[in-house]
Structure 1
């Protein structure tokens, strides 16, 4: 249909799709009344691939046929689901087929253009897997857009932040499986990546592992054999309980972004585990410190002056953890932009980017050759093929019903096909890091990764508590007054006064050094204690001298 568009953000945990209607309205597609479609896939006994919540529900019947995070298996040829090896492009295409069916039902016909997003650190091989999956799903060749470029477009076009040419947006993207930090610069015709770095072993799944580790400390001491079965399931029942444990751990982590405490019930142990936000943040701080340090390093590598940074933008479901914004604010002195639904940013930003750029070629309905094994009875593009889950009888909520009837025949295109890979990002991808992580998550359920040793926090303001800067300012002001007063009262000096002044001066000198250099947390508080003791000695001595007691 003319003037319509579809933007897809295929994520590790969830997939988001946004459509633009003929009247210009942009709305997310709803899957089971939610804009988040779980990227999970389940292969039933008939060989059919179920996706979304249908896959999550079916996983409790036979977890061996379930893959919760296909995106983390992007570098593998196939994934074993039950007794069948399924090619990775086929897993991804099952999710995209569900997206296509919902787009057809909402728009009443095929969209004129399609845009998909991918991490900026992905190279040609991984991008080609997405293109192959789109072809298997019957989609036209999409334009590929780097996720940070789409996020920066949303920051400027939708949120209305002023980003002048030459200024940059720092995109902090913490998804379910990976973390990416990017510095995106505004140009005369859009945005481009200046610097991008990522971590393949930090994501929402790793934060879930902290919840599971807390449950281990409570349950394993009382029932070690039971917990061993949860960590290394050997039967269908154990797999079922492990799947439920990780699913509930994710829900508890999300609840802690809103509540001060939450509980996790472990059916296998018949025990409830309480976790407070303070406990969770204490465990998560070393992991999140790695992301903050990497974001600061990425900004330094981009060689961007502080005044050229238009803002810090938090995207990805993991950024709903309040500690992240707090740590970035302390490290940079700038309050980052945080949204209530950060998962929707990238998909909608890709749509706005596609409408702003004139370089996106028209879509073609000629599917390229695919290296992966073809799915059985491959559907014609946008011919409303069977989808991987039962259709919803009610009309979609994401948009009012369209009067035009849905298209039931393949669309014919007379435009020449574009190049196999179309990218809207102006900068080429950087070298791919090792993938998957050194401790990959095994199907059907990810094991609890062991905590990684993290170096001590570093960087400006690292380890300095809130309000310490103000306390030192007060102490400095008091010191200046006392120096003048005591010097007037006893110009010849006094050992008591010299000791107090020396302690206060040492504390202030350390504070001045820490404003621009890294240092340990313990030294900060030792210096503060010395300064406070020195100030107290000066106050007592001044009071005694004024009162005439000596």
Structure 2
């Protein structure tokens, strides 16, 4: 058994020979010994373990010291993160293994409080390239991630987007939808992220085939592959297992891996699990590919928005996801700041203005000119999905009481998608309806209607919760309601008349209310503007102090 190891806060790598040898120490018992030594000696128990088997001198299965089946069982029994077989002699599978270990290390590092490598002697046993890989991974993180501690932001003095040599990419990595904007000839524009030309990308990721899929191709097939599909990763990323509240709509499972959470799904190879960072990485990689298709070149730098309520671990986990997606230079920007950029990049803000930004998806945030976030409050579990759930429960009850129909598991996601559409329609219509024959084929031409007034009555408790969040944001900032000069609307949920009425008539009647034509896209557009002006921030005395 050859068992040197690289040990850090993030990862332990055990390497052994698969070939029989004269010493007789190539055995499961020896693996147990090394694993116990690792876990008993000054290393956090949550650090992942990777096992690598060296196939040098393996002629056939008979010359193996331990079968692959035995090793897979041992890994499963001992919570081993991954098992790889390589050949150090001819390089077989070495680079692929290095990439996978880098990914695992990157994900775990996003939740580690420090980065340190112990036992330099054992680390030096590995190839020099491997040593450089881990050092570079550490350096890339420290060079690229700017902590969101300073809360002040500055606007550029002019809206100048004439530099043809500068790229700008802004990404709104949303809980339910993603948007992206880039610099084009005519300025900053949001781009199509779906092959159908749709600019929104549903934040749904499926593993029902060997290649990962995202967006509407996933949502259109949810009723067939719900156990292979993951969504809401933004509600999970960067959180410890004990702090995750599972949603009733999740068909995937949340499992505890030490103190972290993994997402259990069904793939073509059977049951497997993914980290939330891997789900977000799949979305960010899809966005990267689409941006590069539009621009016709490789893009390496981006500004990705995060909720103002994200803590440092959640921010670092988002950064790790972006690294896994292939972005090389990553900047994180609070969503409220990005939205304010989109609103005011081409218009002056009066002195001493106090702005209140309302984002239904991410909660509420309060900003003041510079821009400095002086108060923030929100609920990470309060968003458009909660209004969808109200409609889902309403139609479930109506289907059961009027028609005796219980919504089947295979139809659950169809109901969820139709309720989202009805919610959107009620923003511009006074009434909409649900077709009953989608859930009972014998009820052709039967419909269950719902009016906007009914919907608003059902949503009264949510409105009370939103009002309490607004009050908390203002109290945290030490600002009174009548001191707010402008209210900015962000997110598709802000289109709902019930929300506009709450803010315009009940809460801020004396403020100027600013509506964008596409409130869903303002965060991505603002992030792209910010991305474009980064060089001026870096060279100007009043540069943005943090991103």
- CA distance in 2 between partners of 1:221 and 1:424 (Å): 58
Other-structure match for 1:104: 292
- In terms of fraction of residues, the more strand-rich structure is 2
Task: Pick one of 184, 208, 211 that aligns with 1:44.
Answer: 208
Cα shift at 1:292: 2.5
Cα offsets for 1:360-405 (capped at 9, x unmatched):
679xxxxxxxxxxxxxxxxxxxxxxxxxxxxxxxxxxxxxxxxxxx
SS at match of 2:298: coil
Task: Pick one of 399, 421, 426 that aligns with 1:256.
Answer: 426
Other-structure match for 1:171: 357
Contact 1:328 1:335 survives alignment (8 Å): no
Task: Pick one of 324, 336, 344 that aligns with 1:136.
Answer: 324
Residues 1:341 and 2:511 are matched in the alignment: no
Cα offsets for 1:263-310 (capped at 9, x unmatched):
112422345211100100111122123213321331233123667533
SS at match of 1:243: helix
Task: Pick one of 353, 378, 383 that aligns with 1:203.
Answer: 383
Other-structure match for 1:81: 265
Q: How does 1:39-78 map to 2 (within 5 A)?
A: 39-46=203-210, 48-74=211-237, 75=239, 77-78=261-262
- CA distance in 1 between partners of 2:483 and 2:183 (Å): 33
SS at match of 2:513: coil
Other-structure match for 1:395: none
- CA distance in 1 between partners of 2:485 and 2:529 (Å): 19
Q: Unpaired runs of 5+ in structure 1?
A: 231-237, 363-422, 428-550
- CA distance in 2 between partners of 1:204 and 1:116 (Å): 21
Residues 1:10 and 2:173 are matched in the alignment: yes
Task: Pick one of 359, 365, 375 that aligns with 1:182.
Answer: 365
Cα offsets for 1:94-143 (capped at 9, x unmatched):
11111111111111113474100000110111111211111111112311
Contact 1:325 1:335 survives alignment (8 Å): no
SS at match of 1:3: coil
Other-structure match for 1:523: none
Other-structure match for 1:28: 190
Contact 1:325 1:336 survives alignment (8 Å): no
- CA distance in 1 between partners of 2:381 and 2:170 (Å): 27
Seen in structure 2, the aligned counterparts of structure 1 residues 45 and 65 have a Cα distance that, compared at 3 Å, is same
- CA distance in 2 between partners of 1:241 and 1:324 (Å): 30
Seen in structure 2, the aligned counterparts of structure 1 residues 10 and 325 have a Cα distance that, compared at 3 Å, is same
Seen in structure 2, the aligned counterparts of structure 1 residues 292 and 155 have a Cα distance that, compared at 3 Å, is farther
Cα RMSD between the aligned structures?
2.4
Q: How does 1:177-326 map to 2 (within 5 A)?
A: 179-187=362-370, 191-222=371-402, 226-227=405-406, 230=407, 238-266=408-436, 267-269=438-440, 270=443, 271-304=446-479, 309-326=484-501
- CA distance in 2 between partners of 1:92 and 1:252 (Å): 27
Q: Which has the higher contact order (CA 8 A, sep 6+)?
A: 1
State which structure, 1 or 2, has the greater radius of gyration over its C-alpha atoms: 1
- CA distance in 2 between partners of 1:358 and 1:345 (Å): 22
Cα shift at 1:210: 1.1
- CA distance in 1 between partners of 2:182 and 2:534 (Å): 17
Between stretches 75-84 and 270-279, larger displacement belongs to 75-84
Contact 2:376 2:476 survives alignment (8 Å): no
Count of residues paired in the alignment: 347
Q: How does 1:346-425 map to 2 (within 5 A)?
A: 346-358=523-535
Cα offsets for 1:412-439 (capped at 9, x unmatched):
xxxxxxxxxxx96759xxxxxxxxxxxx
Other-structure match for 1:482: none
- CA distance in 1 between partners of 2:465 and 2:545 (Å): 27
- CA distance in 2 between partners of 1:340 and 1:12 (Å): 21
Contact 1:63 1:239 survives alignment (8 Å): no
- CA distance in 2 between partners of 1:24 and 1:340 (Å): 18
Other-structure match for 1:546: none
Task: Pick one of 295, 307, 332 that aligns with 2:508.
Answer: 332
Cα shift at 1:24: 5.8
Residues 1:122 and 2:122 are matched in the alignment: no
Seen in structure 2, the aligned counterparts of structure 1 residues 335 and 218 have a Cα distance that, compared at 3 Å, is farther
Cα shift at 1:56: 1.2
Seen in structure 2, the aligned counterparts of structure 1 residues 426 and 196 have a Cα distance that, compared at 3 Å, is farther
Cα shift at 1:155: 2.0
Cα offsets for 1:243-282 (capped at 9, x unmatched):
1011101001101001110011242234521110010011
Other-structure match for 2:32: none
Seen in structure 2, the aligned counterparts of structure 1 residues 195 and 96 have a Cα distance that, compared at 3 Å, is same
- CA distance in 1 between partners of 2:546 and 2:372 (Å): 5
Seen in structure 2, the aligned counterparts of structure 1 residues 91 and 361 have a Cα distance that, compared at 3 Å, is farther
- CA distance in 1 between partners of 2:216 and 2:458 (Å): 30
- CA distance in 1 between partners of 2:474 and 2:535 (Å): 29
